[in-house]
């Protein structure tokens, strides 16, 4: 599975499942959105995870399961078992790692066994990671992953389109792999330990136009086993999860129940189709709070907006609206999604172009 296909599925409701295996991480990056560390002991119960992924049916499953953290490869045996369970039902499995294990420029055997159970492997790189694991060692380990026959990509994070670190790192990756390894380039967001590093973006659209929320498409298994409808870290960490964004818990629910709640929720249909600020503008008796995600969380206290969403997106009309929005985003392609959600300057790199050299400047 190549990166462009994985990102291309991102707008599809329940087309994927995100699973945070652990909040633990041996690295201490200043920009970490999850606040991960080796002292952070939160992680879902392994038995519950295996049962939940084991509830996938061959005709009723996510197309892709993305294993994240913290650092998911602190639990390589569990990652491999989960991959085997998901793949048995026909799902494909990807994993994102901070590459802590690559300090010697190699992939330890127990890590490689987990990597070779996957359909895609992504290495996370940024200036903070490189202070702990040098870039050259990460690229050497990534070469070993490719040589093992596993499609790979780099998830690169910087401060913005003019960040010289991004230009330099992109150029190095393109030179090292001649376009064979695609990149997903993102910008640091003010979440977790990064809250004091970057400013919050302006409030954004005022609700006069539709701004579909792609983050509400894939369910997320959080560190405590709660299943949320949104992967924004503020939602994943907040307790209680706002009721309209809570889909269940892996100790109590199976995939079918979570999928049914996500696909059948009028509020989630409207969030995926027009976004929270448009919902407020259409139905609220008071202005929406500043900020896209804050206006979504505020829906929990706006019964008139929830009622309006139920009227607008209940039944077959809501299903059709959800499908049409998904179809439009799929037609636009993965690079368009990255231009909206990531770093627009580098959006084209989400697709591998073997043999092509990129300066990144």
pLDDT at 244: 96
pLDDT at 85: 98
Burial class (CB in 10 A: 0-12, 13-18, 19+), 208: exposed
Q: Kindly report, residue by residue over 285-327, the tens digit of the pLDDT.
A: 888 888 889 999 999 999 999 999 999 999 999 999 999 999 9
The fraction of the chain above a pLDDT of 90, given in percent, is 76
Cα–Cα distance for residue pair 219/222, rounded to 1 Å: 9
pLDDT at 208: 58
pLDDT at 105: 78
Cα–Cα distance for residue pair 315/304, rounded to 1 Å: 19
Strands (E), 160-258: 183-187, 220-221, 226-228, 246-249
In degrees, rounded to 5, the angle at the alpha carbon of residue 28 between the alpha carbons of residues 26 and 29 is 130
- Residues 6 or more apart whose Cβ sits within 8 Å of residue 99: 123, 124, 125, 129, 133, 138, 141
DSSP-H helix ranges across 121-240: 127-130, 135-147, 164-177, 233-237
Cα–Cα distance for residue pair 52/48, rounded to 1 Å: 6
Locate the domains of the chain by residue range: 3-208+333-350
What letter would DSSP give residue 244?
G
Distance of CA 207 to the CA centre of its chain: 25
Query: Could you say which residues of the chain have pLDDT below 50?
Result: 193-198, 202-203, 356-361
Q: What is the CATH number of domain 3-208+333-350?
A: 3.20.20.70
**Average pLDDT of the chain, as a whole number:** 90
pTM: predicted TM-score of the whole model, two decimal places: 0.92
The fraction of the chain above a pLDDT of 70, given in percent, is 90
In contact, 156 and 183? CB cutoff 8 Å:
yes
Q: Kindly report, residue by residue over 43-63, the tens digit of the pLDDT.
A: 999 999 999 999 999 999 999
């Amino acid at each position: 599975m190549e990166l462009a296909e994985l990102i291309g599925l991102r707008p599809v409701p329940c087309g994927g499942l995100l699973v945070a295996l652990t909040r633990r991480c041996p690295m201490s990056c200043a920009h970490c959105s999850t606040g991960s560390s080796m002292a952070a002991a939160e992680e879902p119960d392994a038995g519950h995870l295996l049962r939940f992924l084991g509830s996938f049916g061959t005709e009723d499953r996510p197309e892709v399961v993305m294993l994240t953290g913290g650092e998911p490869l602190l639990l390589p045996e569990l990652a491999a078992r989960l991959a085997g369970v998901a793949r048995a039902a026909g799902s494909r499995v990807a994993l994102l790692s901070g590459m802590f294990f690559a300090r010697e420029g190699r992939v330890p055997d127990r890590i490689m066994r987990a990597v070779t159970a996957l359909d895609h492997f992504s290495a996370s790189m940024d200036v903070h990671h490189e202070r702990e694991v040098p870039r050259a060692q990460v690229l050497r380990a990534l070469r070993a992953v490719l040589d093992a026959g596993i499609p790979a990509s780099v998830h690169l994070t910087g401060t913005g389109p003019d960040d010289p670190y991004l230009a330099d790192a992109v150029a190095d990756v393109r030179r090292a792999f001649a376009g064979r390894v695609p990149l997903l380039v993102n910008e640091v967001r003010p979440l977790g330990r990064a809250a004091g590093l970057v400013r919050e973006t302006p409030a954004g659209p005022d609700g006069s136009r539709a701004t579909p929320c792609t983050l509400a498409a894939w369910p997320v298994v959080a560190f405590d086993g709660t299943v949320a409808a949104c992967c924004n870290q503020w939602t994943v960490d907040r307790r209680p999860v706002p009721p309209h964004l809570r889909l269940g818990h892996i100790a109590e629910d199976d995939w079918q129940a979570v999928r049914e709640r996500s696909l059948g929720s009028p509020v989630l249909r409207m969030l995926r189709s027009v976004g929270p600020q448009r919902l407020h503008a259409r139905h609220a008796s008071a202005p929406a709070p500043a900020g896209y995600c804050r206006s979504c969380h505020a829906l929990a206290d706006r019964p008139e907006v929830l009622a309006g969403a139920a009227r607008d997106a209940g039944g077959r009309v809501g299903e059709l609206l959800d499908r049409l929005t998904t179809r439009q985003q799929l037609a636009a392609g993965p690079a368009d999604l990255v231009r909206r959600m990531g770093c627009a300057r580098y959006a084209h790199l989400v697709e591998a172009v073997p043999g092509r050299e990129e300066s990144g400047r």
